[in-house]
Each structure stands twice: as structure tokens, then as C-alpha cells.
Amino acid sequence: MRIEHIPVVSAIERRCFAQPWPQNAYRREIQSNRTAHYFVARMVESDERSATPETRPAPATPDNGLFGRLSRLLRGPLEPPPTPALEAELRSIVGYAGLWLMTDEAHITTIAVDPDFQGRGIGELLVVALIDRAQQIGARWLTLEVRVTNDVAQRLYEKYTFKEMGIRRRYYSDNGEDALVMWTDPIDSDTFQETLLRNREALDRRLGPYD
């Protein structure tokens, strides 16, 4: 995730969550928080993979109007409009995720997929990206909080060995809902690595080539 992605990320967040983070929170995460690692998922056309940035087309999406409504947020009053390449990149963002490294624990702070693109494996792809980064930065476990009623997310996390380890009462201030605290097996363990490999192969078959 880069600074210029924030307005689009923020728009997706508002569609997914009752209490979205303000845009300046993401700016601080990217610019100032050395423990933070954030990613975006992009839906691109097959010919975009080999195109140069100057010639990459804007991929078709169900809601190009969303980008149009965001265009005024992408620049200040004295800044030039985004280049065509940047516009295409911003239109292609369909999800995002992030984590903090806290000693040897990778704490997943947020993960979301635009509602128009849910159910296609993008959320799982983001989970795998976070696991890969956690391994790269020396974490031994991943942990997160999830709403007790969010069965879909819980099933996804369970695929990657996340298990309920506690409850945070009234964690979500919008409705007072409890959060499950979930932890993975040690990510350097044989059990976790075998699970990751099996799930990654299945995801590769589902999504096809991706970067």
C-alpha cells in the first residue's frame, strides 16, 4: 500500500465496516509506523501483466463510478490529476490488509475486500500475503481479533490454523459485540507449513497466475 492508494482503500473500508479508520490513520501507518506492513490486492486484466505502466489499461469493474466519486480526493487543489497509469492502478484495487510486528507476534490489524469482489478468493490471497510477510520479518505466530458473529472470516482463518484463544468483551464500540482472539500454530512448525502449502496450491488453482 502506498500513500496514493489511501482514498480508494478508505472507500472500500467504508463499504465494509461500520467504523472505518480515518485516512490520516493509514497515512501515519505507512509513513511513521515501522512495525506496520500494509498491502493492496489488485484485479488486473491478463494483458496488463506484460504491459508497460504507460500503456496499461484500466480494468473493467462493476463500479467504475466509485473511482469517479473519489477522483477529487486523489489530489489537492493545486496538484495535477493522476496519470492514466495511476488511475488504472487505483481502479484495480479491490482489497487491502495489514499487520503489525510486535516482538515475535504478527498482529493482523485489518483485512477487507470490496463487497463487489467478495467470494473470489481475494481475502484468502491477502491472508497468504500477510503470512508470507510475517515469515519474512521473523514472526513466530499470527494473531487477530474477529467478531463473534463473523462466521465466514472465522472459517477462513481456521483454514490457516487460527484457533480461538480468548474473548475480548464488548470489543467493537459500534454495537458492543465481543471479539474472538485467534492465534495460529507456530508458523515455522511442520504442521503450519504443510497446511500453508496445501492451501496455497488450492488457491493457485482457483485464482490462476497472480503476483
Can you tell me which residue has the cell 497509469?
85
Separation in Å, CA 205 to CA 12, 91, 124, 132, 198? 27, 25, 13, 19, 11
Exposed/middle/buried for residue 99 (C-beta within 10 Å: 0-12, 13-18, 19+): buried
Q: At CA 9, angle to CA 45 and CA 98, rounded to 5?
A: 100
- Based on the residue annotation, tell me whether 157 is a catalytic residue of this protein: yes
Q: Which residue has the cell 482463518?
A: 157
Q: Which amino acid is at 158?
A: E
Name residues whose C-beta falls within 8 Å of residue 119's C-beta, 6 or more positions apart in sequence.
Answer: none
Catalytic residue among 145, 164, 171, 177: 145
Burial of residue 87 (CB within 10 Å: 0-12, 13-18, 19+) is: middle
Take residue 89 and report the three cell numbers written for it: 492502478
- Separation between Cα atoms, residue 67 and residue 144, nearest integer Å: 30
Is 87 an annotated catalytic residue?
A: no
The active-site residue out of 26, 38, 96, 157 is: 157
Q: Which residues are catalytic?
A: 145, 157
